[in-house]
Chains A and B, each alone.
Chain A
Amino acid sequence: MHPILKRRSRLVLYLAVWIVFGLLLTVVFIFGGRAPPLWSLYFAVPMAMLLGMQSLSYWYLVQSMPPGETPIVRMVISWVAAGLASLVAWLVLGYLWAQYLLEPGENYGDETYGILGLMIFAGAIGISLAVLGHYLVGAFERSRNAERRALELQVLAREAELKSLRAQLDPHFLFNSLNSVAALIGNDTAAARQMCFLMAQFFRKSLTLGREQAIPLSEEVGLAQTFLAIERVRFGERLRSRFDIAEDVRDVSVPPLFLQPLVENAVHHGVAHLLEGGEVCVTARRREGFVELIVENPCDPDRPPSRGTGVGLVNVRSRVETLCGHRASVDVNATDENFRVSILLPYTGAAAALRATA
């Protein structure tokens, strides 16, 4: 939507500026062109408003050629062409309007050619100012959008932090882990101690990582591995895992705690329901301009798939898409026996977008 047409107050202000332009033009016609004062007023003010209306269309040209991203030559040529076309149209309409203002039987004298010269001059200035104005409005809108996006990101980051806090306090995870510790103390104190260390590590890591805006992928993978190590104490041989993280994506910036919920889902909705258990596979690799992350797990065909796609997945999707825009995507591929989530993050875009708000 055109930023000036979006609100009535802006449109009124915009037209007021053009009326002032029209009044100036009137003065120029009277003193510079020796035109009759009343005629000058009737002619100049509507013409100025007309130029203002014509100029509104420049917004779309500004949008299609953002400064800094468009070659200068292309910009200059486009604007000169658009400006000339606009000026010619304005002059033609001006000619018609001037004819309309004539009393029947009257004619303009030769001195009107002076007015034509003034019109060309004034039109060129008006159009130039309009283009400049539109670029200013565009820059203003962009900075406002950026501000709003930054704010949105902050809110999301807060939400993520809260969710991560709640995830750490996931009662199932916590009480079951404590139950495992209680059991181990009886017959394997070393393992009990190890379990305590793992839990401490998991809680501490998710606390600190949750506060960050962006973390290296390797940290997120480490957290998921700690989580799986704890769950493996509970599930034993039934829970297996495989991580295949390409060397060149280890340092890529990712939103914190986005992988861990997916791995948690893979365990609780997938492997936990299989008698023989199964393998949770996490793959990360570069694919053209993207980082591709895949979490895959087998699941029980007797369990309806609706329970596999939980709130966690919705959260991950909304976070990834808001943090990285439409270039990121989250795809779910569920068959009777397999559940697979693949996430594409822009390889550099993700890092840049996140850094901008950090």
Chain B
Amino acid sequence: MRVLIVDDETLARSLLREHLAKLPNVEVVGEAANGFEAVKLVEDLNPELVFLDIQMPKLSGFEVLELLGERAPSVIFTTAYDEFALRAFEVHAVDYLLKPVEPPRLAAAVERAAERLRNKTPPPSAHDLAVSARPPGRTLERILIRHEGRVHVLPLERIDFIEAQDDYLSFSCGGKRLRKQQTMADLESQLDATRFVRIHRSFILNVERLARIDLYGKDSWLAILGDGTKLPMSRTGHAKLKELIG
């Protein structure tokens, strides 16, 4: 089995590599020290199993899984301690290992991964995992977008508005547009409702960007943004916005 190790700590990687070397039929094909490298190496090396640390610079383990999407191989998460992530793993029956990893547990986890490979079990939904691993009361803080082979990390405060286009969402930030495959309802449910309001079937607005509201016709309004952009607003959208900003 071809294995990739992802962890930002050199010592953690070397320990895992040392343990894995003793297991039969396991070949460590690469090591990644951060999320970006991990995404790239999974695509370049095409491993069958990835040991994925959760807390890493730039991209968390969950975000790596999200970016890999359907190309994600079988995954075993590793963590020293993260109560919310552990709860998410239990809920979604995802395999994980606690650091320092004990060799017998490691062997068992690798065995289960091989089993999943034989049965072609699909990888866990990164989205579901990320949602249930978020501490209570905390909403989404940034959006990950792959665009022309590059990964864009988009902090929410940089987003002006989001527009639905067929199966995609188009994120507008400072005149630039980035597209991502996701549904409006799914994104809306993850956003902080006091900062982002769905003003229309196809538009979510960053409330901070709103400059004024113009009446456009009976039961329809236009949201005018600070940069002059005009967005249509439905009756319910207008009511939601009114309630929020008074």
Contact = CB atoms under 8 A, between A and B. Distances in A.
A63 B142 CA distance: 55
Interface string A173-203: 0111011111110110000000000000000
Contacts of B18: 183, 186-187
Contacts, number: 77
A171 B82 CA distance: 9
Nearest to A271: B57
B112 interface: no
A49 to B, nearest CB: 53
A216 B91 CA distance: 49
Most chain A CB within a 10 A radius of its CB, from B11, B55, B98: B11
> What is the interface residue range for chain A against chain B?
20 to 34
B81 A171 contact: yes
Nearest to B37: A275
> What is the interface residue range for chain B against chain A?
20 to 34
Contacts of A135: none
Given A171-B80, A171-B81, A234-B11, A179 B99 contact: yes
Most chain A CB within a 10 A radius of its CB, from B15, B18, B153: B15
A183 B15 contact: yes
A180 B15 CA distance: 8
B155 A304 contact: yes
A300 interface: yes
A273 interface: yes
Contacts of A186: 14-15, 18
Nearest to A170: B81
A180 B9 contact: yes
Contact of A176 (B9, B36, B101, B157): B9
Interface in A195-237: 233-236
Given A175-B81, A183-B15, A302 B142 contact: yes
Interface string B86-118: 000000000000111100000000000000000
A273 B99 CA distance: 20
Interface of A: 171-172, 174-176, 178-184, 186-187, 233-236, 272-275, 300, 302-304, 306-307
5 contacts: A179-B12, A180-B12, A186-B14, A275-B57, A302-B153
